Each structure stands twice: as structure tokens, then as C-alpha cells.
Structure 1
Amino acid sequence: MKTLTAGAVALVLALPAMAAGKPDLRDLPEIDDSMLWVALAIEISDRCPSIEPRTMRGLNYLWSIRSRAQALGYSTSEIKTYVDSDVEKARMRARGEAYVRAQGLNPRKDADLCKLGQAEIAKGSQIGAFLRLK
């Protein structure tokens, strides 16, 4: 019984160390930045009447992000928690607004989002790859 208890205690003590070995998805730029590009493209296409989304391209990209996260050892549950988190959604919105402002535009103005979308399409950025002019 002492061996079983000692083993259980060792496992419980090791869990935080094992979890610490894997950073939060938000801390992985290859995941978090990719999600930001998709979120910005969605926001632009939702608010700019002259731009539409490339839906299939966006969905395929989201599946590739999911596959990459799984390849890094994240479970479907961990990925879903990251994607569905209200805290993460608010953080992503703040990141998106900061990106728009960094381009000299106002994230609250639809016309500025249209300008951003047109610029991203013109330069062939990852955001622009998810968008097309109507």
C-alpha cells in the first residue's frame, strides 16, 4: 500500500511539471498568429461590403492549424478550450485592433477595415489570401 501511495503522490507531483513542458497554445506564435490572421480576415469580410471571404481557403487553413497543434501534442479538448475561451476571444480581438491601429487605421471604422482588406489582398499577405474583392 505504501508503494502504491508513494507512486500516486509522485505522479500527482509530476503532473504540473509535465504540463509545464507544454506551453499554452496562445504562447505559440505559429498557432496564435495564424488564428489572428483568420480572425482579422473574418472581421474584414463581415464589415466591408466590397470584400468577401475565401471560405474554403480559410477552413482549410483552420484545419491545418488544428493539425499542427495536434502534431505538437495538444489534444482536441485543449484546442477546443483555446478556441472557445471568451478570454482568448477578447485577447484576440485586442490583438486584432492593435494590428489595425499599427497600420494607421481605426478598427472601429468599417471604411478603414475595407482599406486594410484591400491592402492585405494587394500585398498577398496571409490575411489577404483569405479575402477577395467582390
Structure 2
Amino acid sequence: MTRSILGIALCALTIPALAAPALALEPINTEKHINETLLQGFIADSIDDNCDSISARKLRALSELNSLRNYALEKGYSSQEVKAFVTSKTEKARARALASDWLRGRGAVVGAQAGYCKIGQEEIAKDSLIGQLLRFDG
């Protein structure tokens, strides 16, 4: 009897479809890690757009996006789901609005560089993901 159970268990481990039933994934636009990471990217992008003394580290951002894509695929999201999510105009607008709210809550004012630059400097000093996506110019 023990041998049969062990045999079934080993067989299940080698056949992905039998290893575990496909668990329903939460919608990708509600997955916490993915959304928090993307939000930080949108925040950094907004700082880059609104502060002349700080710019985006584009290669670092690309590396982070690749890591995030791999994370999503490992979680079980399909390539099509990931692509649809990151290219969705609705999701981009939602993320930009969240980034804008976050920045406004930290003192940024549209049209005034000082607030964006201050936040960028603070995030760079903290070495947060936002700060890692930014660099001081000149």
C-alpha cells in the first residue's frame, strides 16, 4: 500500500497537470506585488517628467520590468495576460492616477518642480525602488 501511494505521488510530481489542480489566480490587476512594483515605476516616471535635475535610469527600469514579467509568469499568468495588462490604456490610466495621488500626498504640485525633485531626492537617499529607478543629472 505504501508503495502505491509513493508511486502515485512521484508520478504526480513529474506530470505538471496532475501535480496540483490549477488554482484560480486573482486578476493580474489586483495582484499586490505586481501592482506595487508598477506603481513605483509610474511614480519614478512622473518624477522624471517633472524634475529637470533627476532622470530615469531606463536600463534599470527595463531590468525591473523583465523581473516583474518573470514573476508574473512564474505565478501562473500567461504571456497574453501579462501583455494585455501592461498595454491596457485603462490600467495605465489607473496606475498614473494612483501615482499622482501618491505624489500629491507627499507634497508634489503639478507644474512645480520643487516638490517632485524633493521626493525624488528622498527616494534616492532611501534607496527605495523608486529611488533605484532614478538618478541625479549632472
Q: Which band: TM-score by shorter chain?
A: 0.7 to 0.9
Q: Cα RMSD over matched residues?
A: 1.9
Superposition deviation, residue 39 in structure 1: 1.3
Gaps of 5+ in 2: 1-20
Residue in 2 that maps onto 1:104 = 107
* Identity over aligned pairs, percent: 38
Kindly indicate whether the alpha-carbon contact (under 8 Å) linking 2:50 and 2:111 is maintained by their aligned counterparts in 1. no
The residue aligned with 1:40 is 43
After TM superposition, give the deviation of residue 82 of structure 1 in Å: 0.6
**Aligned counterpart, 1:49:** 52
Aligned length: 117
Give yes or no for the alignment of 1:121 onto 2:132.
no
Contact persistence 2:28–2:85 (CA under 8 A) = yes
Task: Give, in whole Å, the separation in 1 of the partners of 2:134 and 2:119.
Answer: 11
Give the Cα–Cα distance (whole angstroms) in 2 for the partners of residues 47 and 115 of structure 1: 11
TM-score by length of 2: 0.77
Query: What does 1:74-89 correspond to in 2, within 5 Å?
Result: 74-89=77-92
Mark the CA change 1:107 to 1:119 in structure 2 (over 3 Å): closer, same or farther. Answer: farther
Of 28, 51, 61, the residue aligned with 1:58 is: 61
What is the CA deviation profile of residues 87-120 of structure 1, one whole-angstrom value per residue up to 9, with x for unaligned ones?
1111101110111122133255333211211111
Q: Is the 8 A contact 1:97 1:107 kept in 2?
A: no
1:10 paired residue number: none
- The structure with the largest alpha-carbon Rg is 2
